[in-house]
Amino acid sequence: MDWRIIRYDIVTSTQDVAREHASSDGAPGLVVLAGAQTEGRGRRGSRWQSAEGGLYVTVVLTPGGWIGLLPFLAGVVVSDAIMEVTGIRPLLKWPNDVLIDGMKVGGVLLETAWHGDGPRFTLLGIGVNVSNRLQDDLPRATTLSRELGSDVDRERILLSILARMEHLLPFLEADPDVILREWRARSQTLGRHVEVTDASGEMVCGMAVDLDEGGALIIETADGPRRVLSGRV
């Protein structure tokens, strides 16, 4: 990939800025990096607190292959980049959280723009708590600096993420199960009893046993296996 990084001190959201660029020229390989966000967001419209000191980035990609597996690919590369830079080994919570000892340190947001019947471009947003201050209403979150006890180089984490992403992206078309295998190897969710609120608001309880080929979570319930495409664990 020909990565082209544009840096901003502060934006509303790297997703919004990247969308503006991509809407005009597609901009595959564009990387929008911000020092802080005023309106950062996560999945399902949740707010992503984005104080100065964190890593807030959106990568513009040309859709291809199993687009829905991009959040799983991103989770793998973020986990491995953190391991490379800090020596801390995060685990992954379905569908898009990066955890250290059960505390959230990062997340992924996928948005795709459509043109006619097909996707035009995909925005892959990644947020990592590096050295940013966390507000008191986030008791289940942490930062890399807090866990390491020292400052962490955000630039090194970003460059490691991009290098690892470049390696894995071709597998979306060539062999998507590679991405699922890598995610499973880092999963904190599989093999545990879970309660998942799906997109309709229904609670599904049971043992998380696997992912299907599209990344849906397979839960073994008292009434048999259930496939949950999206939800909150």
- Convert the pLDDT of each residue in 126-141 to its tens digit: 999 999 998 877 778 9
Q: What is the pLDDT of residue 62?
A: 87
Q: What is the pLDDT of residue 6?
A: 96
Q: What is the pLDDT of residue 28?
A: 86
Q: Examine the pLDDT at 31 and tell me if it is beyond 80.
A: yes
**What are the beta bridge partners of residue 206?**
194
Give the number of other Cβ atoms within 10 Å of residue 153's Cβ.
13
Domains of the chain by start residue, with CATH: 4-185 (3.30.930.10), 193-232 (2.30.30.100)
pLDDT in tens, 200-230: 889 999 999 999 999 999 999 999 999 999 8
Residue-wise DSSP of 66-128:
-GGGHHHHHHHHHHHHHHHHHS---EEETTTEEEETTEEEEEEEEEEEEETTEEEEEEEEEEE
* Of 219, 231, 212, 213, the residue nearest 94 (C-alpha): 231
Q: What is the pLDDT of residue 45?
A: 61
Q: Examine the pLDDT at 39 and tell me if it is beyond 80.
A: yes
Average pLDDT over residues 166-188: 96
Q: What is the pLDDT of residue 5?
A: 96
Average pLDDT over residues 40-45: 68
Q: What is the pLDDT of residue 93?
A: 97
CA distances from 54 to 4, 17, 152 (A): 20, 17, 10
Q: What is the pLDDT of residue 26?
A: 64
Q: How many CA atoms are closer than 13 Å to the CA of 133, on its beta-carbon side?
A: 4
Higher pLDDT, 104 or 42: 104
Percent over 90 (pLDDT), the chain: 76
Q: What is the pTM of this model?
A: 0.93
pLDDT in tens, 80-91: 999 999 999 999
